[in-house]
Amino acid sequence: MKKLGVVLSLMLATVLVGHSQSAKPSKRYHSISKDGAWCWFSDPRAVSLNQKVYAGWVTTDGSIMVGSYDEKTGDSQEVTLYPQFNQDDHANPALILLPDRRLMVFFSAHSTRGRGEKEPAISYAITKNPEDITAWEDLQRITQNAAGPRAFCYNNPVILSEENNRIYIFWRGGDWKPTFCYTDDRGKTWSKVFTLIKSSQFTHKRPYVKIASNGKDEIHFAFTDGHPRNEPLNSIYYVKYRAGKFYSADGRQLGAIDKLPLEHEDCDLVYDAPTFFKENANGVRAWIWDVAVSEEGTPHIVYSRLPAESEHEYWYAHWNGQTWENHKITEAGSWFPRYKKDKSMREPEPHYSGGVYLDHEQTNIVYYSKPVGDVFEIFKAESSDGGETWQETPITINSKKDNVRPFAIRGGGEESSSQVMWMLNKRYSTYKDYQAQIKMDLDK
């Protein structure tokens, strides 16, 4: 591993921002960052411990940031891990809490080299002290990757307590396939690189993957055939890892860690787009947004369906013990980027929904972004019947700018007043041209 100096710039500020609220005038919001954006394929974006929230984002100029918010005192802290690294919202960092309550952060550029890098890498660092982001150990780098021209993208760390706190890091590899390695000594050394999933039949497939864990002994994966731009019949798949082996939701073994990659088509088919097309004479491509596991061990998935580029829908799927149930949550409007360079040009990212995300502590609760009039707002919805019906509550109301890409903070529990974070867009043209803030709701 190679070392880089960690560049730290610490700012202390507390800013409470009140939005115009017609239904709940007492609602409060906090800007954990006045300059921050994120994608939804690097997670966790935020974690909570002892009523203190930690989050990561990338700024307008591409700086990699980590911040904290103390719910008890109202104090905020913000640290620059790497200035002007990669001006791209795909570069946002992902965080995990170690058993000793220190924070570990991973990030990489969007399939290229970051500023100052001689070769592409996943960078990572650990705080020196528990529950404190003001001092960090030296930045380290993982440079080994699956063979291919695409470098690294999308960092998803997982720690399993029943594997002696082994840390896995998953990313999109050089061949655009889901890739990972692991460490048993907190990043001092790493295993060889594994390709998780591939298709022998359709070698061009590049799955988009979401990852979740119970923190103990399981990792859950939900993924697509590819990007909906390229896959008009984009389906949703699922697979689970446990004790060195991979399983379908009904317990069938699909493979083992020493015999990877898994065959793409062998995994569970959660949403079957080709069959839907045959039955409805209309192709509805999907895109994955999140996967989570309930306390009972049941996997839950949220995703978007796109009957047309200007017609988005949010869907909820869960394993009922025998099959996958899929239920529509709500209409989701159209894309949220506002591309103004040339109005005659086609929108480059028409599949960017406002976003839908599961509460990982209560998997019958989802957060999503959809337009009210011309502005995207954040909503919370809860189901008591397995997703058939939903009770919706607004989080933001009467906003003047778009609120998108909600994220349910991991680990807060009932004691926490902060449950959800999101991007407030001052401007979002493309993933390389944005000006946004990271907001959080201070009311349950």
Q: Tell me the pLDDT tens digit for each residue of 170-209.
A: 999 999 999 999 999 999 999 999 999 999 999 999 999 9
Quote the radius of gyration of the chain (alpha carbons, Å).
Answer: 20
Q: Give pLDDT, residue 15.
A: 28
Handedness of CA 133, 134, 135, 138 (dihedral sign): positive
Per DSSP bridges, beta strands 365-372 and 375-382 are antiparallel
What's the whole-number mean pLDDT along residues 223-249?
97
Question: How many whole angstroms separate alpha carbon 7 and alpha carbon 4?
Answer: 9
Structure confidence by residue, pLDDT tens digits, 329-345: 999 999 999 976 666 67
Q: Give pLDDT, residue 2.
A: 42
Q: Give pLDDT, residue 415.
A: 73
Q: Give pLDDT, residue 346.
A: 80
> Is pLDDT of 35 > 80?
yes
In order of 58, 96, 182, the CA distances from 81 in angstroms are 10, 16, 22
Q: Which residues of 396-419 are buried (b: 16+ CB within 10 A; e: fewer)?
A: bbebebbbbbbbbbbbbeeebebb
Per DSSP bridges, beta strands 10-12 and 76-82 are antiparallel
At 13, is the pLDDT very low, low, confident or very high (cuts 50, 70, 90)? Answer: very low
CATH of domain 10-441: 2.130.10.10
Closest among 327, 369, 238, 232 to 291, alpha carbons compared: 238
Name 367's Cβ contacts closer than 8 Å, sequence gap at least 6.
356, 357, 359, 378, 379, 380, 381, 395, 406, 407, 408, 420, 422
323 CB-side CA count, 13 A: 4
In what side-by-side order are the strands of the sheet with 16-17? 16-17, 29-33, 433-441, 420-430, 402-408
Q: What is the mean pLDDT of the chain?
A: 92
> Is pLDDT of 26 > 70?
no
Strands (E), 61-177: 64-70, 76-82, 94-97, 103-107, 122-129, 132-136, 140-142, 153-160, 166-172
At 213, is the pLDDT very low, low, confident or very high (cuts 50, 70, 90)? Answer: very high
Q: Give pLDDT, residue 24.
A: 44
Q: Give pLDDT, residue 18.
A: 28
In what side-by-side order are the strands of the sheet with 285-293? 285-293, 299-308, 311-319, 324-333
At 412, is the pLDDT very low, low, confident or very high (cuts 50, 70, 90)? Answer: confident
The answer to whether 155 and 94 are in contact (CB under 8 A) is: yes
**Structure tokens, 291:** 């996967």
- Report long-range pairs for 341-346 (Cβ below 8 Å, ≥24 apart): 341/429
**Structure tokens, 29:** 């919001």
| Cβ-based burial of 137 (10 A; exposed 0-12, middle 13-18, buried ≥19) | middle
How does DSSP classify residue 347?
A: P
Q: Give pLDDT, residue 281.
A: 78
> Is pLDDT of 414 > 90?
no
The answer to whether 209 and 222 are in contact (CB under 8 A) is: yes
